[in-house]
Structure 1
Amino acid sequence: MPKSASSKKAEAINPGPPSVATDYHPNLPRIFYSKVGNQTLRTAIWKGTDKGRGKRTPLLFFNGIGANLEIAQAFADTFTGRDIITFDMPGVGGSPDPSFPYRPWWVAKAAKQILIENRYTKVDVLGVSWGGGPAQQFAWQYKRMVRNLVLCATTTGSTMVPGKPKALSKMISPKRYIDRDFLAKNFEALYGDAAGEGVRDFSINMVPPSVKGYLFQLSAMAGWSSLPFIRRIRARTLVIMGEKDHIVPVVNGHILNYALKDSRLKIIEGAGHLFLLTRRDETVEMIRDFFGEPEVPCPHVNPMLLPSVAAAFNHKHDVSPVPAT
């Protein structure tokens, strides 16, 4: 049956989701492997596409616990003015299991090696949740390489004010990365963000970490705190917190803001732990304003399964890739 003129017009306005990721991702990352001592780390670099006048400072991105690098694509889609560099922790995403226990100083050292090997000598640094620890460590350990520091939903480490016991108890296990039904059922209780689109945005490119990788990453922060050196961090710092975060209460943002020498605090009302996804445009606008970047369009992009995700399932556990829906 031939289509009417009105239906053809509707399809032109809203043609529906593309069949493959490259239909809507003109800026997929270059993914490769970096060797740091005896450990191999899966690494990604997104190249900046709307640099405007002059090249902007590259951004080093430290992800949350158990989170593979593809989850950063949602951030890269709307923050496209600069190169973005990140990597999977040992046993996470496509990185092989850790060969030894590690600490935040080693994560910072690995990041520096990756930057130097790819000819980056000056960066802005962004740390999310667990990644806020290595971000602070890097900003102190390699202060000459850091221009600005952004800390999202994070703490000073073991000296943090803990979140809700119900949420923290679910953080001990990587089950939310393995069981999509479990994630959907517990999403709001765990993160404080409303379920719905947030679940899909978070889970569509999610690769379950290995049990060993997750436990080693969890234990890496045991006993670590940034308080002994935080006053010596020179970088201008933006601290962003979610008002309804069940994992990292807002008071931790106040502690960071008080302890850091040159910082400002922004609290997103009604937001939970995953505001970089659930309140992405608002968060990106805050960061751009902090960096002093000119305003650029931030079109909404529907998340889709990236082609690199299936290849990242290299851990020896009984988990099969979760298909995109």
Structure 2
Amino acid sequence: MTTPPPSPAEEERVLRLGRRTVLARIREGSPDRVPLLMCCGIGASQEALQPVVDTLDAAIPVVRFDVPGVGRSPTPALPYTFQQIGCLADALMRRLGHSRYDVLGYSWGGGLAQQIAWQHRARVRRLVLLATGTGAMMVPGRPEVLATMLSPRRFRDASYAAGIAARLYGGSARQHSDDVGGLYRHLHGGSRRGYAYQLLAGAVWTSLPWLPTIAQRTLILAGDDDPIIPLVNARIMATLIPRARLHVYRGGHLDPLLEPDRIVPAISDFLS
């Protein structure tokens, strides 16, 4: 599988937001629909979510961006927190003229999405959490899996990514490891320092104490074979978030990207 190029309806923009510069990709969609802000996984540029965007209801406007130090957004001099990136993401939506929006977060980006929904609750309508957990206070994956996650090599070496795909990602990656290498060939790698900043931000953050205060309707999607974020984490979030609904799909951590036709329609229905 290869990641498809952006459709002609998408536009890339480089935006200066305070002291940060970010690369954003925007799909217009229908003007009467609430836009969806997408947050990517650790080390991954916004291109990683292209299969999700292409499968999502075409009427939904979509905004994606590269976190500072990842993809084509410059690496800042100092580390940042989830709270700071949450403010940056909301500033992006304000700059684009959106007074209200939905948020989807995948993996590491799911933590960021939770932070945005909690921090900017008056502006976020609905929340979608995809293959994610509650940060530092969650049920971890196996130690050998977490050790592999410490290095960004899989984003730079497609052959290496294919070789570790089965044990790292589970699900469809067990049978189609070459598809993982194909997916990563189309990503824009960030800096090692940018990857370290993401690791540090996640290591000192958790949503667990304040999950019961998330007021938005929330859709939680999780695979039953995810070595990185075990399914029990989704069940915990679904229990603690008052208006949450859990959707368990067969597969692993990358199945939303490798087989989006099975999973993304549930997101389109929820956002409708």
Query: Which of 240, 260, 275 pairs up with 2:221?
Result: 240
TM-fit CA distance, 1:289? 2.2
SS of match in other structure, 1:261: coil
Residue 260 (structure 1) aligned with residue 248 (structure 2): no
Asked whether the 8 Å contact 1:38–1:99 carries over to 2, the reply is no
Inter-partner Cα distance in structure 1 for 2:182 and 2:25: 19
Residues 66-124 of structure 1 show CA distances to partners (whole Å, capped at 9, x for unaligned) of 11012222221111221111211111110111222111111110011111111001111
Inter-partner Cα distance in structure 2 for 1:249 and 1:175: 23
Query: Which of 8, 11, 16 pairs up with 1:30?
Result: 11
Asked whether the 8 Å contact 1:166–1:189 carries over to 2, the reply is no
Asked whether the 8 Å contact 1:105–1:137 carries over to 2, the reply is yes
- Cα distance change on mapping 1:57 and 1:285 into 2, 3 Å: same
Inter-partner Cα distance in structure 2 for 1:150 and 1:21: 24
Pairing of 1:152-171 with structure 2 (within 5 A)? 152-171=130-149
Paired AA for residue 67 in structure 1: A
In structure 2, the residue matched to 1:276 is: 256
SS of match in other structure, 1:189: helix
Residue 216 (structure 1) aligned with residue 193 (structure 2): no
TM-score normalised over the length of structure 1:
0.78
Asked whether the 8 Å contact 1:64–1:129 carries over to 2, the reply is yes
In structure 1, the residue matched to 2:92 is: 114
Residue 181 (structure 1) aligned with residue 159 (structure 2): yes
SS of match in other structure, 2:208: coil
Inter-partner Cα distance in structure 2 for 1:176 and 1:205: 12
The percent identity for this pair of structures is: 38
Inter-partner Cα distance in structure 2 for 1:165 and 1:209: 25
Query: Which of 104, 108, 122 pairs up with 1:126?
Result: 104
Residues 208-257 of structure 1 show CA distances to partners (whole Å, capped at 9, x for unaligned) of 22110000111011221112221111100011001110100000001100
SS of match in other structure, 1:67: coil
In structure 2, the residue matched to 1:8 is: none
In structure 2, the residue matched to 1:40 is: 21
Inter-partner Cα distance in structure 1 for 2:178 and 2:267: 23
In structure 2, the residue matched to 1:76 is: 53
Higher relative contact order, chain-length normalized (CA < 8 Å, sep 6+) = 2
Paired AA for residue 226 in structure 2: D
Residues 158-195 of structure 1 show CA distances to partners (whole Å, capped at 9, x for unaligned) of 11100122221110000001111100111111111332
In structure 2, the residue matched to 1:67 is: 44
Residue 146 (structure 1) aligned with residue 138 (structure 2): no
TM-fit CA distance, 1:196? 4.0
Structure 1 segments unaligned to the other structure (5+ residues): 1-16, 294-325
Residue 58 (structure 1) aligned with residue 35 (structure 2): yes
SS of match in other structure, 1:157: coil
Asked whether the 8 Å contact 1:40–1:96 carries over to 2, the reply is yes
Bigger radius of gyration = 1
Paired AA for residue 66 in structure 1: G
Inter-partner Cα distance in structure 1 for 2:91 and 2:111: 18
- Cα distance change on mapping 1:56 and 1:175 into 2, 3 Å: same
TM-score normalised over the length of structure 2:
0.93
TM-fit CA distance, 1:197? 5.6
Residues 281-301 of structure 1 show CA distances to partners (whole Å, capped at 9, x for unaligned) of 12111112222x3xxxxxxxx
